[in-house]
Amino acid sequence: MRRHWWWKLALISLWVAAAVGLLRPVVTAHRFVTLHKISKTGELVVITRYSPHCYYTYRDQPMGFEYDLARAFADHLGVNLKVVVADDWASMVQLLQKGQGAVIAASFSISAERGSDVAFSNGYMEIRPHLIARRDHRNISRIEELTGEVVDVYDNADYTGPLDRIRKNGIEVDVRTHTDVPTEDLIRQVAEGTIDLTVAQSHIALLNRRHYPEALTTIALGKPQWLAWATAPEARALLSEINHFFDQIMENGIFDRIYAKYYSNVHDFDYVDLRTFHRRIRTRLSSYSPFIKEAAEENGFDWRLIAAQIYQESHLRPRANSTAGAKGLMQLLPETALSLDVGDVYNPVENINAGVRHLKNLYSQFEQSEAPDRLLIALAAYNTGIGHIWDAQQLAAKLGLDPNRWASLAKTLPMLKYRKYYKDAKHGYCRGDEPVAYIRQILIYYDILKRQGIEYESPDA
């Protein structure tokens, strides 16, 4: 009997060992990142996506609401920040489970479907889907009035879901989905009258109001949701620290400062008509024209072009500040001002001299382009960063276009907001419509100053 008892014990031990051996590959396959590992390696890897709310580069500097929150969290932990970009939710979760990232911070809302794969933090921003319509479109104040309308949306549950529920309630609305057209571009199409209606989450709608003032945010189409970060379900200490971090920055004002950087004055449209341009040129240019002329002459530029650029940048306001942190007449970013030894970025003379030197430095990078393309490309680089210009040039070459012509880049820059183009670009997502509009507006102002011979100078200029 005693020998039989030891035999059973040995058999049970073998079964346990086999079970552990079978389970080990399943456990180790999910290599989630812990808070301890982040502290040990000194690096926080955040998974995000390219979008105006999440992550992008502006004048070669990383930007984005989620990026700034992630950077603040890395500072909170006392570690370095590394950003990994993914295209969609599924690929982000895969990176998380492989241990190639610690946190998903990509403007995703809390949902039961997504929650089956991850653990969500506490929500940090309430959002809600809204109908976006052009100003001259017939007024839609009730959901019932959507009957017979066509709504173009990005193919995502956050947008198609509310419309599906509306259709289940008997309202016949035609929904056209797009897989590779971002919501920001659909808003632009609404503003331009290419399409009639789209749907955007409230935070995306707010970010785009200043860019597309003809697009109006109208009725809400769904219930409020919360944006949140996500971790692996097993990373409980990390999730707890994220929630503590959010509580802390809500109290100490850091969250409000980051929010203000991207969302302050979203109702103030930067809409400039020619009448305003003429008035401001008359009342403001005379104070700065001597310095503009001197800086332009030293660097080989037409002073009227520099004046047009300054007006586009700041409306000739020496203490102008942008949401991205650019300052002064020529909207210098702090890093650019520092590299050019600017003592007082709000000093008009220093700001103008530094801005024109910065433009000349960019101009020197495009020796293979001839006038006037070289100058236009340099101006575009001033606006969006030289990295995006290089990406646009490479894309132009792939498409058989001349990469040294501005006409080519005016086509390829806007293409860099689509995943199939920016996925192979070194500097990633780019709001490429903006530098194109930037150049177009400067040329309008420049043409007026040249053709009408307007010179509003100080008497002793």
Give the catalytic positions in this structure.
313
Q: Decide: residue 367, CB within 10 A, 0-12 exposed, 13-18 middle, 19+ buried.
A: exposed
Token look-up 């806007």 returns 414
244: three-class secondary structure by DSSP: helix
Q: What is the dihedral of CA 383, 274, 316, 449, to 10 degrees?
A: 90
| Beta strand ranges found along 80-162 (DSSP E) | 80-85, 103-109, 119-120, 125-127, 129-134, 150-154
Nearest to 408 by CA among 394, 395, 396, 424: 396
Radius of gyration of the CA atoms of the chain, in A: 27
Q: Do residues 356 and 30 make contact, with C-beta atoms less than 8 angstroms apart?
A: no
Amino acid in the structure at residue 132: I
61 is written with which tokens?
């500097």
H/E stretch holding 102: none
254: three-class secondary structure by DSSP: helix
